[in-house]
């Protein structure tokens, strides 16, 4: 039976539990226990701090885990990355005080940079031939320049709000990160098989996120024009209506382009357009 390590509490916990839940896998007890049994899939869930998940998976304490790519890159743990999961999206960036006369990477030469990600930063500085001091601190990195602990910071940025609040500006992005599914490198064939089943469920859920199922009535004469507008997995479904010369057209549209497409479809003659929540795309 697979054992999955997820963050006990923190930013990734809710999305992990959400992804499992959408995949038909519920867990009882939540983060209050160290371990619990999943329902809907033969799996045990281990709740850990995110920092400990890469090592736990590398050592086989857990077979698989969900953690930010930033943690994997920092710890250089020997695990396989199975799939990106589309949540926990952030970046690791260098930021300087907003009044600094930043001219380019050379600015960092001889400066001190505070971070919780010393290994990623060391590699980046080395590959760019920059000689800067690194102050490793565990938390509240963004406060370091204001209290004189460093000249700049290297930290996780998501909306950028924290940098603005602390009078800092992002000047270089070093790593794009998101939550990833990781696995131990020596899983036996039974566990690899179970992992494939799990990845299939995750893939269906992730692929359907942000997609809408759209139905509309359309006169036969407009179908060719509508098909030019529509993206679709293969080709949209067309069903004849009882009314002569009319069809019901069904398709899937990404949320980001939904209103654009709807306007174009209306312009070519589509009517009675229904937009439905899409739960799952199983390919």
- Tell me which residues touch Zn ion (CB under 5 A): 50-51
Q: Which of 5, 72, 90, 125 binds ligand PRT (CB under 6 A)?
A: 90
Going residue by residue from 122 to 161, which x/- string records binding to ligand PRT, judged by CB under 6 A?
---------------------------------xxxxxxx
Q: Which of 7, 150, 208, 222 is close enough to bind ligand PRT by CB under 6 A? A: 7
Count CB neighbours of 175 within 10 A: 18
Six-digit token pair at 71? 């943690």
- Name which of 50 and 155 has its Cβ closer to Zn ion: 50
Vertex 232: Cα angle to 253 and 195 (nearest 5)? 85
From Zn ion, ligand PRT, none, interface partner of 65 (C-beta below 5 to 8 A by class): none
- List CB contacts of 46: < 8 A, sequence separation 6 or more: 3, 4, 5, 6, 34, 35, 56, 61, 62
Bridge partners, residue 237, by sequence: 250
CB proximity list for 21: less than 8 A, separation 6 or greater:
none
In angstroms, give the least distance from the CB of 165 to ligand PRT.
8
Q: How many helices (H) and strands (E) does the chain have?
A: 8, 16
Residue 32 is given by DSSP the state: G
Residue 12 interacting partner from ligand PRT, Zn ion, none (CB closer than 5 to 8 Å by kind): ligand PRT
Binding mask 223-262 for ligand PRT (x = CB under 6 A): ----------------------------------------
Question: Is residue 186 involved in binding ligand PRT (CB under 6 A)?
Answer: no
């Amino acid at each position: 039976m697979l054992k999955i390590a997820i963050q006990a509490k923190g930013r990734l916990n809710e999305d992990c539990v959400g992804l499992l839940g959408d995949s038909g896998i519920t867990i009882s007890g939540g983060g209050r226990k160290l371990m619990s049994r999943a329902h809907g899939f033969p799996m045990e869930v281990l709740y850990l701090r995110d920092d400990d998940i890469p090592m736990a998976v590398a050592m086989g304490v857990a077979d698989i885990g969900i953690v930010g790519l930033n943690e994997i890159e920092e710890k250089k743990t020997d695990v396989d990355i199975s799939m990106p999961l589309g949540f926990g999206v952030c970046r690791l960036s260098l930021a300087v005080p907003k009044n600094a006369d930043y001219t380019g990477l050379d600015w960092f030469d001889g400066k001190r940079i505070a971070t919780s990600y010393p290994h990623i930063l060391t590699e980046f500085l080395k590959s760019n031939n920059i000689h800067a001091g690194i102050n490793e601190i565990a938390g509240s990195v963004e406060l370091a320049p204001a209290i004189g602990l460093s000249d700049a910071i290297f930290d996780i940025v998501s909306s950028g709000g924290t940098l603005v609040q602390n009078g800092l500006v992002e000047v270089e992005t070093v790593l794009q990160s998101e939550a990833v599914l990781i696995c131990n490198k020596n899983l036996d064939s039974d566990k690899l098989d179970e992992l494939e089943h799990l990845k299939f469920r995750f893939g269906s859920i992730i692929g359907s996120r942000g997609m809408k199922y759209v139905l509309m009535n359309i006169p036969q004469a407009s179908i060719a024009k509508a098909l030019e507008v529509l993206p679709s997995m293969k080709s949209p479904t067309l069903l004849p209506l009882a009314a002569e010369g009319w069809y019901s057209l069904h398709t899937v549209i990404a949320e980001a382009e939904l209103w654009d497409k709807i306007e174009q479809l209306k312009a070519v003659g589509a009517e009675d357009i229904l937009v439905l929540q899409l739960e799952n795309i199983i390919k």
